């Protein structure tokens, strides 16, 4: 029997301040849990390691010599975890009002759940609509067309991201967003770790799919809340991460649905980028767009072309690492 209730795993890449705020929010909450915190640093260059070691000597800190990606770093943490639950927690989150205790109490009452997510808020305390459906041809078409933006309360057009749902009730979902994923250790032992071929994005979707295929449930429970700032690491390399997100969706479909789904999905991803190229071209040329606008335009052109060429996440992974200087 495990001595610890939960092992909290936080992956850090050049987010010193927000990571320290996240860790403070964990330790400052009153809790009856036996908890350990493991931080995996992906070769940060901003003195994150020194700051964490100085302020949080109780944290188990792992220093990678290169950016191994989100999935691989979390797998490192899970290999060390001793808790009966593992909590994958983004570095840019703030834990509110004993959220860990509340979610673990819920998970203890739902033994058939491999993964539990909680209610996520923006910094201004408005709702952040986490949880979504698995990728599919229909969902990718709706995402490419932006119809869910035009009809957010419509259950059909908003189906992928469930934009019509206010996250106010317990619900079985396809995917719990990775900024806060409480995962049962017994389910991990059965299904295995994250697939680290997903450098960043897609790994949580793949994992939830594997849990559900093995007979486990993935549940959302509004019993607790956190704040999620969003994009603190990925915003440092926006273009490559935009490509990484779309490429990860394609990798998921290639892995689980085969070529019959992958090939038309490449066309839909290309459509996603093509529809945005004119907007960014006009903005860059006629609105006095700066360097960022031109870089965004280049990203969409590259994404449209690569998707038409049957582009997979491996090439995107190289792009991300090149942009980071590794």
Domain boundary among 188, 212, 228: 228
Same domain, 240 and 178: no
Domain identity same for 219 and 314: no
Rg of the chain, C-alpha, whole Å: 20
Task: Tell which residue, 279, 277, 312, 313, has the closest CA to residue 298.
Answer: 277
pLDDT at 96 (0 to 100): 96
| CATH code for position 61 | 3.90.550.10
Q: Is residue 145 part of a domain?
A: no
Q: 213 and 259, same structural domain?
A: no
| Element (DSSP H or E) covering residue 158 | none
Q: Mean pLDDT for each 10-residue chunk of the chain (326 residues)?
A: 86 94 93 95 93 96 93 96 97 95 98 97 94 91 82 90 94 94 98 88 92 98 94 55 83 88 90 88 77 85 87 44 37
> Is residue 185 a part of any domain in this protein?
yes
The 3-state DSSP class for residue 168 equals coil
**285 and 178, same domain (yes or no):** no
Judging by DSSP bridges, how do beta strands 180-184 and 113-121 pair with one another?
antiparallel
What's the domain count of the chain?
Answer: 2
In whole angstroms, what separates CA 84 from the centre of its chain? Answer: 22
pTM equals: 0.87
| One domain, residues 206 and 58 | yes
Is 158 a domain residue? no
State residue 245's pLDDT score.
81
Query: Residue 138: inside a domain, yes or no?
Result: no
Residue 165, pLDDT score: 94
288 domain-assigned: yes
Give yes or no: residues 172 and 249 share one domain. Answer: no
Distance CA 189, CA 180 (A): 20
Give residue 304's domain range. 234-324
Alpha-carbon separation of residue 119 from 21, 123, 230, 251 (angstroms): 19, 13, 14, 28
What tokens appear for 27 in the block? 């330790």
91 DSSP assignment: T
Maximum distance among all Cα pairs of the chain, rounded to whole angstroms = 65
Same domain, 220 and 244: no
Residues 107 and 243 in one domain: no
Residues 52, 171 share a domain? yes
CA-based nearest residue to 119, from 209, 43, 222: 222
Same domain, 29 and 122: yes
Q: Note whether 78 and 33 are same-domain residues.
A: yes
Collect all residues with Cβ–Cβ distance below 8 Å to 1 and sequence separation of at least 6. Answer: none
258 in the same domain as 315: yes
């Amino acid at each position: 029997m495990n001595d610890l209730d939960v092992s909290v795993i936080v992956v850090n890449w050049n987010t010193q301040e927000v990571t320290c705020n996240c860790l403070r929010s964990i330790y400052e909450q009153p809790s009856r849990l036996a908890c350990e915190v493991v931080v995996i640093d992906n070769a940060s260059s901003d003195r994150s390691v020194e700051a964490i070691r100085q302020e949080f000597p109780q944290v188990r800190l792992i220093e990678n010599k290169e950016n191994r990606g989100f999935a691989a770093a979390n797998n490192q943490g899970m290999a060390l975890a001793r808790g009966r639950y593992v909590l994958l927690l983004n570095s840019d989150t703030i834990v509110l009002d004993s959220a860990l205790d509340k979610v673990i109490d819920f998970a203890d009452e739902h033994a058939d759940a491999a993964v539990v997510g909680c209610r996520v808020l923006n910094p201004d305390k408005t709702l952040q609509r986490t949880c979504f459906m698995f990728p599919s041809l229909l969902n990718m078409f709706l995402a490419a067309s932006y119809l869910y933006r035009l009809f957010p309360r419509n259950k059909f057009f908003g189906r992928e991201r469930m934009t019509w749902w206010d996250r106010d009730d317990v619900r079985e979902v396809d995917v719990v967003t990775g900024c806060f994923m409480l995962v049962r250790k017994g389910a991990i032992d059965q299904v295995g770790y994250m697939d680290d071929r997903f450098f960043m994005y897609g790994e949580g979707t793949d994992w939830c799919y594997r849990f559900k295929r093995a007979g486990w449930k993935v549940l959302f429970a509004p019993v607790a809340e956190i704040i999620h700032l969003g994009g603190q690491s990925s915003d440092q390399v926006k273009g490559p991460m935009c490509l990484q997100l779309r490429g990860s969706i394609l990798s998921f479909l290639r892995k689980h649905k085969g070529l019959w789904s992958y090939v038309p999905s490449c066309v839909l991803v290309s459509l996603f980028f093509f529809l945005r190229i004119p907007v960014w071209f006009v903005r860059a040329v006629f609105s006095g767009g700066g360097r960022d606008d031109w870089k965004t335009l280049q990203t969409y052109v590259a994404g449209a072309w690569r998707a038409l060429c049957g582009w997979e996440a491996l090439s995107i992974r190289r792009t991300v690492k090149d942009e980071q200087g590794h």
